[in-house]
């Protein structure tokens, strides 16, 4: 298939038509430019309604694919920022997509042609200014939003708090039909009800939603933006006094032992059949079972499969299995493996040193005569060095992880002897620092560790 000149056109908003950036305007000017350059074979690549902040665009993806297939001789744009407003993306397209395929890039507005030395020099300068413009717009937007919040107006965007609607004309939140539900949630909490009970009493879908409502200071007339609080213009749903009392009550409850505090594995148990969480359930006077939350109709938000048939086991048996597995972890160090890893690291360091010496010599030769073949060789050697550096980072990460695991295993040996004398709180902290989750599937118990 014959190579063609690719005419790339991007328009992000309808408003750009007024600035001379409309699709038709760009097509007309670029097609005339191609005729003047005698580029007869040409094809249009048009992205309408796409931002220049990244290159995730359909026509751009097609263009890159056709360049890779060797179907493109030139890429033409009306203006550099039509290609991208990101300096990083612009340089990526030129250096890693166009140049390797020997594709000439031309920006008509800036009179830039990468087939010439001055065009290549101008590219870096212009792409830097495009990036600067984008970052300046972002900074102005952020500052404008900050001023808006300081004046008590809702910043807009994101989720509107439960109990409010957003009035765009006034720029403020206005209470809606759920406002009374919010007020009732605070009253119930101060009466001593749990967030789980409040969610069920008020018909909220999840317990977490009740907690979100209680913690949201917007309900007391404030706007929290970028970690700072501002007095809002909207009508508060509760008094500031009520909010403060609720936060104090929440803090006091957090300090009290949980009702499930006597259970060692709470929060770590997962059903291997349906994926739901599992919990302790009293069974008779002295026994306790581990059951799947899917079988607990009181926790609607935690049900994964109402027909889950996972077996129930004695909680004490499961705890014993987990502890035996935890304390049986080997603390023996493999000295031969450690020595082999050290030797491999030394070899890698030697290879990197030799690679850097070779690169330095190539740069010296290139500085003397500017041979293009040397430039290609330098690029290959840089990639080889980068690959070695990546291998070194991976090796260092693995070695660090191995050291952490070894340290943890040694600590576990000490913990095993002291275990009978630890408090329940101390035991639970140890378990949570070592165990990520415990998956129970009928008679199988799988323990997943954090190391």
How far is Cα 148 from Cα 348, in angstroms, rounded to an integer?
A: 55
How far is Cα 298 from Cα 300, in angstroms, rounded to an integer?
A: 6
Closest CA to 105 of 133, 125, 69, 80: 80
Q: Is the separation of the CB atoms in 164 and 174 below 8 Å?
A: yes
Question: Quick check: is 340 catalytic?
Answer: no
Q: What is the DSSP letter of 58?
A: H
Pairing outcome for strands 269-271 and 228-231? unpaired
Q: Is the separation of the CB atoms in 386 and 394 below 8 Å?
A: no
Catalytic option among 12, 22, 51, 194: 12
- What is the DSSP secondary-structure string of 272-318? TTT--BEEEEEETTTEEEEEEGGG-TT-GGG-S-TT--PPPEEHHHH
C-alpha of 214 from chain center: 27
Give the number of C-alpha atoms closer than 13 A to the C-alpha of residue 106, restricted to the C-beta side: 18
Residues with a catalytic annotation lie at: 12
């Amino acid at each position: 298939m014959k190579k063609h000149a690719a005419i790339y056109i991007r328009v992000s908003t309808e408003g750009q038509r007024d600035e001379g950036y409309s699709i038709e305007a760009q097509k007309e000017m670029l097609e005339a430019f191609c005729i003047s350059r005698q580029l007869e074979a040409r094809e249009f690549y048009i992205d309408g309604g796409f931002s220049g902040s990244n290159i995730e665009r359909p026509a751009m993806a097609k263009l890159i694919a056709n360049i890779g297939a060797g179907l493109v001789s030139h890429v033409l744009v009306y203006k550099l920022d039509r290609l991208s407003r990101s300096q990083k993306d612009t340089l990526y397209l030129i250096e890693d997509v166009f140049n390797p395929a020997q594709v000439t890039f031309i920006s008509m507005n800036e009179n830039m042609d990468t087939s010439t030395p001055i065009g290549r020099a101008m590219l870096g300068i212009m792409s830097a200014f495009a990036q600067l413009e984008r970052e300046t717009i972002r900074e102005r937007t952020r500052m404008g939003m900050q001023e808006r919040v300081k004046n008590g107006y809702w910043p807009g965007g994101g989720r509107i708090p439960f109990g409010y609607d957003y009035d765009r004309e006034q720029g403020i939140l206005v209470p809606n039909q759920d406002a009374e539900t919010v007020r009732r949630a605070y009253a119930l909490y101060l009466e001593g009800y749990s967030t789980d009970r409040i969610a069920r009493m008020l018909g909220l879908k999840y317990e977490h939603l009740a907690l979100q409502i209680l913690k949201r200071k917007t309900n007391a007339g404030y706007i929290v933006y970028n970690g700072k609080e501002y007095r809002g213009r909207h009508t508060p749903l509760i008094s500031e006094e009520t909010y403060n009392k609720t936060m104090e009550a929440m803090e006091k409850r957090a300090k009290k032992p949980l009702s499930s505090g006597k259970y060692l594995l709470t929060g770590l148990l997962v059903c291997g059949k349906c994926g739901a969480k599992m919990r302790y359930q009293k069974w008779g006077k002295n026994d306790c079972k581990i059951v799947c939350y899917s079988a607990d109709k009181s926790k609607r938000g935690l049900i994964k499969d109402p027909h889950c048939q996972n077996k129930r086991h004695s909680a004490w048996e499961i705890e014993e299995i987990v502890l035996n597995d935890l304390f049986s972890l080997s603390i023996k160090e493999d000295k031969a493996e450690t020595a082999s890893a050290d030797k491999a690291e030394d070899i890698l360091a030697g290879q990197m040193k030799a690679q850097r010496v070779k690169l330095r010599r190539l740069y010296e030769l290139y500085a003397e005569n500017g041979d293009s073949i040397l430039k290609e060789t330098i690029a290959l050697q840089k990639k080889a060095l980068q690959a070695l550096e990546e291998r070194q980072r991976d090796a260092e990460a693995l070695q660090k992880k191995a050291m952490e695991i070894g340290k943890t295993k040694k600590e576990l040996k000490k913990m095993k002897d002291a275990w009978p004398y630890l408090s329940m709180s101390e035991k639970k902290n140890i378990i949570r620092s070592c165990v990520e989750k415990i998956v129970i599937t009928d008679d199988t118990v799988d323990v997943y560790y954090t190391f």
